Amino acid sequence: MQGQGLVGTAAVAPRLSSAARRRQLREKVIAGIITAMAFTGIAALVLILVFVAKEALGLFLDAEARHEASPSKMFLPQVVRAGKPPAFVWQPVSSVPKVSMIPLFIGTLKTTLVSMLVAVPVGVAAALFVAEFASRRLRELLKPTIEMLAGIPSVVLGFVALMVFASFMQDTFGLGSRLNALVAGLGLSLAIVPVIFTVAEDALTAVPRSYREASLALGATPWETAWKVVLPAAAPGILAACVLGFGRAIGETMIVLMASGNAAIVSASLSDSVRTLSATIAAEMGEVVVGSPHYSLLFFIGVELFVFTFLLNMLANTWTRRVLKRLSGAGA
């Protein structure tokens, strides 16, 4: 069957006993089942987008929703009251629903910005310390301790922001509203510091020893080596860590829900209360009428969050892979 050259052996090999054939079939079935299971992860990601987008679709298909929450009403300033200048207002449950997403974008941006300003320097510096300066014993103690922060449920971090940070800020600075963008941002930074630390530390330790040895051999001090050789070599990985942290901060819900004050105010001040995209879903989804324009609107916010974080993740993923590839290629 196989070809003339194989006549001698081919006559024996394909004639398997029925038990062996059954075994072969069983192996194929098992491999098939396992391969099919591998699709679950992909399916989950696709289903998430499809089903969140499907519920948001009402916004564009339903006539009532199209009128109530048109893209111009979501993104352009609207005349809210006659005689007043146009403004951005989020009041989806008032008698005349006002659905501007701009206050939510601003709120999300403010809390995210505060958290990044705190978490990036602290997280990257701590990663640099653990990767470059700490003794082996200290490193083995510090790393799991800092990563423990990642294991704390976000509702507990929200609780800490609400009970500890808010009171501390109130007592120290006497801000106008007790719960504001600053307090929520500080709470958020607790959640993203471990993310930034872990990814940055991985990138730093991926820098080959030969780089350090070469630098030290040329007479550089350890800090010069760390600052001018190791850090630049790991830069894309550290950037990836920051992007990943940014994505987490945008999507994090419980902390901002508990500590931001939840008022959709358009202002530049960090001491005003804010309402973020994620907290809006969490706060309003419970009382919304299924299928109403407001319901579709909340799912639309979900689509936005999904798309933002997806893009940031892809970016971070590409950068991380690039730095690992470059370093492992160069270090070999």
Partner 1 sequence: MKLSWRRGVGGALTSLTGLAALLIVALLAVIFLDVVRGGIGTVSWRFLTEPPSDGMMGGGIFPALYGTAALTLLMTLAVMPVGVLTAVYLHEYAPPGSLLARAVRVAVVNLAGVPSIVFGLFGVGFFIHFVGGSLDRLLGYQELHWAQPGILWASLTLAVLTLPVVIVSTEEALRAVPLEHRTASLALGATQSQTLMRVVLPGALPGILTGAVLAVSRGAGEVAPILFTGAAYFLPDLPHALNSQFMHLGYHSYVLATQSPDVEATRPLLYATVLVLLALTFALNLVAVLIRARTRRRAAAAH
Q: Which is nearer to partner 1, 152 or 214 (CB)?
A: 152
Q: Which is nearer to partner 1, 193 or 265 (CB)?
A: 193
CB of 267 to partner 1, least distance (A): 23
Closest separation in Å from C-beta 158 to partner 1: 7
Which amino acid, residue 231?
A: L
CB of 173 to partner 1, least distance (A): 19
Beta carbons of 274 and 106 less than 8 angstroms apart: yes
What gap in Å lies between CA 22 and CA 258, rounded to an integer?
Answer: 60
- Shortest spacing between CB 38 and partner 1, in angstroms: 4
CB of 99 to partner 1, least distance (A): 17
Q: Least distance (Å) from partner 1 to the CB of residue 244?
A: 7
Query: Is residue 160 packed enough to be buried (19+ CB in 10 Å), middle (13-18) or exposed (0-12)?
Result: middle
Cβ-based nearer residue to partner 1, 105 or 129? 129
Output DSSP code: residue 221: -
Q: Which is nearer to partner 1, 80 or 282 (CB)?
A: 282
Instruction: Using the minimum distance from each CB to partner 1, give the nearer residue, 72 or 172.
Output: 172
Radius of gyration of the chain (CA): 27
Output the six-digit token pair for 306. Answer: 């999904």
Residue number, 45 or 330, with CB nearest to partner 1: 45
Rounded to whole angstroms, the Cα distance separating 281 from 331 reads: 47
Least distance (Å) from partner 1 to the CB of residue 117? Answer: 14
Residue appearing with tokens 């006559």: 11
SS (H, E, C) 118-171: HHHHHHHHHHHHHHHHCCHHHHHHHHHHHHHHHHCCHHHHHHHHHHHHHHHHHH
Token pair 């978490």 is found at 119
Q: Which CB atom, from 35 or from 95, has the smaller least distance to partner 1?
A: 35
18, amino acid identity: S
Phi, psi at 16, each rounded to 5°? -85, 155
